Amino acid sequence: MIETHALTKQLGGRTVVSNVTFRCEPGTVTGFLGPNGAGKTTTMRMLVGLSEPDGGTATILGGPYRDLPNPGRRVGILLDASAQHSGRRGREALAVSAQMMGVPARRVDELLALVGLDEAAARKRVGQYSLGMRQRLGFAHALLGDPEVLILDEPANGLDPEGMRWMRGLLRGFADRGGTVLLSSHLLAEVEAVADRMMIIGGGRIRAQGTRAELLTESGTIVEANDLVALDAVLRRAGLTAHVADGDRRLVEAEPDAVARVAMDGGVLLRRLAPAESAGLERLFFELTAGAGALEPQTDPIRPEPAKATS
Amino acid sequence: MSTTTLAVPIRVDAAGVHARPGLGRLVAVELRKMVDTRAGFWLQVAMVAITVVAVIVACVVGDAEDLTLRSVLDVGLQPAAVLLPVTGILLVTSEWSQRTGLITFALVPQRSRVLGAKLLASLVLAVAMLVMSVAVIAAGVLVASPGVDATWSDAAPLIGQAAVYLTTGMVVGVAFGAVLRTSAPAIVSRFALPIAWSAVVSLPFFADIAPWVDTARALGRMSAEVLSPIEWAQAGTALAIWMLLPLLIGIWQITRREVAV
């Protein structure tokens, strides 16, 4: 269980995390999505006590992370796979942490096997590792203490498609056994397939969060027409809210049949009419996070800003 | 690496899940970290090898009547005196330069415990290297000495001073590492600053206070002669400035500030 309440952090006079509140339940995988610099890493660092929040609270397994007597045995962390001593051998890097958290040394070998680092790789110095190998070592490290909670920052970075599938299986299995997983990514595709819940962060604020289904319900209808000016005009006349999507498309906040009727009445030829679900999360992710660098007053996070006066 | 292996969780026995790692374990881990990297390993090998070479040279080149414990000790301690602080510096700075602090301080959130373990581990290594140095030096004297009268005179106080010389030098290294947290500047300052400081306080204007604050002078004697009580006092004040002060500043910074790893 991970819980934050109104977590806020300022760095260099800039608010990088603002009023972030969420909850990750046991048995679930939560995807933490946002572009680079959105505040994901800072939030995760506050979760594990490496960074002090300026406001709000973060608790893991019912209390502040720092109060856990032997945190490595309950919370597995992968904040940066490159944060390993380049002159240390892969096996030794795990063995040091195993000794620190009081885990038997043979577990190091079990985990090396689990993440697919063979004997040759285990004997190599971490400085010679590829990004994918470091990521695997990082997974092994996070799982070393047999934790109940996993906190992973951009874990799919550098993994090949096979590794990505492997990671999803691993996280799914971990959650199905009652574990709590929080993983961040700047790529929707990495998270979409495995996450039960998703949070989208932009400019330090949570822009939307919920289950996949919840995030998709308000999607509306995607419409394309050759005569966009006429389309916008009839939609406006009918009182339907439309947003510009991908330049020449419109996302209309209405059911497809309502949009079809308006277009027919207005004599506008549609060349595409579809429920927006297919565009789904990707559009939502893009719209919620694009241009969210600066903090602006938050409206309803699920509903995108209305389109500008159409041209 | 198949998904089927994931269906079977690897359980670890529950003992220790709720037990804070003891200080002894943390010290053992920090000791391990000093020697298990490429740089750390070769530093220790170099320390032993250069000590052996230095002692052999001192025994071969010196005049026969100079072949006393006192004179060989003065030479034979220097390799450890230079390389131990480098090990101590790297023990602290690597948490930042190699970014392993992300792991260390996540596994042990009480940063003061980590620093305490590093200090103790560095003292253990310093004592181990003291034993090594003294053993090599004694062996050299034993083999090469023609047996002049004063060969073994003042052995006990000299070895005691050697212990202070090496351990305090090591702690100064840890302290500089803690203040600067980057390897190269810490190593350079550890060795260059005391020399520059010596030059400054050797100005006539500072003649009265120089012996009390000049660490190079106050500690340099440690390996060469038996110190008088006033010289001990001067070593104490110099160490307060060069060891205690940076150590306290470093601990204060690391425990109070963000771990900007």
| Residue A131 near residue A81 (C-beta atoms within 8 A) | yes
In chain B, residues with a C-beta closer than 8 Å to the C-beta of A101 are 16, 21, 107
**Strand A221-225 and strand A270-275: pairing?**
antiparallel
Dihedral through CA B45, CA B50, CA B55, CA B61, nearest 10? 150
Q: Tell me the shortest Cα–Cα distance from A102 to chain B, in angstroms.
A: 7
Write the DSSP string, B181-195. Answer: -SHHHHHHHHHHHHH
Do B193 and B216 contact (CB within 8 A), yes or no?
no
Mean pLDDT rounded to a whole number for chain B? 90
- pLDDT at B261 (0 to 100): 65
In this predicted structure, which of A135-144, A175-184, A215-224 has the lowest mean pLDDT?
Answer: A215-224
Half-sphere exposure of A155 (CA within 13 A, CB side): 32
The predicted structure's pLDDT at residue A208? 85
Q: In chain A, whose CA is at the least distance from the CA of B11?
A: A146
The side-by-side arrangement of strands in the sheet containing A221-225 is: A242-245, A249-252, A221-225, A270-275
Instruction: Indicate whether A294 pLDDT > 90.
Output: no
| CB contact (8 A) between residue A114 and residue B6 | yes
Boundaries of every domain in chain A: 2-209, 220-278
Q: Which amino acid is at A235?
A: L
Residue A38 distance to chain B (closest CA, Å): 18
Residue with tokens 């003891």, as numbered in its chain: B22
pLDDT value at residue A278 = 47
Least CB-CB distance to B36: which of A88, A97, A173?
A88
Give the pLDDT of residue A2. Answer: 96
Q: pLDDT by residue (tens digit) across B30-44? A: 999 999 999 999 999
User: What is the dotted CATH code of the domain comprising A220-278?
Assistant: 3.30.70.100
Interface check B39 vs A, CB under 8 A: yes
Mean per-residue pLDDT, B98-126: 96
Query: What is the predicted pLDDT for the residue at A302?
Result: 39
| pLDDT band at residue A300 using 50, 70 and 90 as cut-offs | very low
A154: region left, alpha or beta (phi > 0 left; psi from -120 to 50 alpha): left
Strand partners, A252: A221, A242
Distance, C-alpha A92 to centroid of its chain: 31
Is the predicted pLDDT of residue A280 greater than 80, yes or no? Answer: no
| Cβ atoms within 10 Å, residue A247 | 6
Residue B118 predicted with pLDDT over 90: yes
Instruction: Yes or no: say if B254 and B229 are a contact pair by the CB < 8 Å rule.
Output: no
Confidence band (pLDDT; 50, 70, 90) for B13?
Answer: low
A103: closest CA of chain B, how far (Å) = 8
Pick the CATH number of A2-209 from 3.40.50.12280, 2.60.40.1180, 1.10.10.10, 3.40.50.300: 3.40.50.300
Comparing CB atoms, the residue among B16, B40, B101 nearest residue A73 is: B16
Chain B: nearest CA to A250, how far in angstroms? 42
Q: How far is CA B107 from CA A70, A138, A172, B20, B206, in A?
A: 7, 14, 25, 10, 48
Best of A10, A48, A73 to disrupt the B interface (most B CBs within 10 Å) is: A73
Which pTM was predicted? 0.84
Contact A169 B102 (CB under 8 A): no
Task: For residues A45 and A162, give the distance between their C-alpha atoms in angstroms, rounded to a whole number.
Answer: 29
Torsional class of B68: left (φ above 0), alpha (ψ -120 to 50), beta (otherwise): beta
Q: With a cut of 70, say whether residue A258 has pLDDT above it.
A: yes
Q: Residue A199 has which token pair?
A: 């949070």
B150 touches chain A (CB under 8 A): no
For residues B162 and A114, what is the distance between their CA atoms, to the nearest angstrom? 50
Q: What is the arithmetic mean of pLDDT over A138-158? A: 95
* Residues of chain A with C-beta less than 8 angstroms from the C-beta of B26: 100
Burial B173-194 (b: 16+ CB within 10 A, else e): bbbbbbbbbebeebbebbeeeb
Question: What percent of chain B stands above pLDDT 70?
Answer: 93
Compute the distance between CA of residue B184 and CA of residue B22 in angstroms, rounded to an integer. 32
- At residue A187 the predicted structure's pLDDT band, cuts being 50, 70 and 90, is confident
SS (H, E, C) chain A: CEEEEEEEEEECCEEEEEEEEEEECCCCEEEEECCCCCCHHHHHHHHCCCCCCCEEEEEECCECHHHCCCHHHCEEEECCCCCCCCCCEHHHHHHHHHHHHCCCCHHHHHHHHHCCCCHHHHHCEHHHCCHHHHHHHHHHHHHCCCCCEEEECCCCCCCCHHHHHHHHHHHHHHHHCCCEEEEEECCHHHHHCCCCEEEEEECCEEEEEEEHHHHHCCCCEEEEECCHHHHHHHHHHCCCCEEEECCCEEEECCCHHHHHHHHHHHCCCEEEEEEHHHCHHHHHHHHHHCCCCCCCCCCCCCCCCCCCCCC
Q: Which residues of A touch B258 (CB under 8 A)?
A: 50-52
* For residues B87-108, average pLDDT: 96
Pairing of strands A149-152, A75-78: parallel
> For B148-196, what is each residue's pLDDT tens digit?
778 888 899 999 999 999 999 999 999 999 999 999 999 999 999 988 9
Which of A17, A51, A101 to mutate to test binding with chain B, by most B CBs within 10 Å of its CB?
Answer: A101
Q: Which of 230-259 (B) contact A at CB < 8 A?
A: 258-259
CA distance B35 to B33: 6
* Strands laid side by side in the A55-60 sheet: A14-24, A2-11, A55-60
Look up residue A95 and give its two tokens.
Answer: 């063995």
What span, in angstroms and rounded, lies between the C-alpha atoms of B166 and B172?
10
pLDDT for the residue A165:
92
A114/B110 touch (CB, cutoff 8 Å), yes or no: no
pLDDT at A291 (0 to 100) = 53
Query: How many Cβ pairs within 8 Å bridge chains A and B?
Result: 129
Instruction: Work out the pLDDT band at B235, boundaries 50, 70, 90.
Output: very high
Q: B-chain residues within 8 Å CB-CB of A87?
A: 37-40, 98
Asked whether residue B245 carries a pLDDT value surpassing 90, the answer given is yes
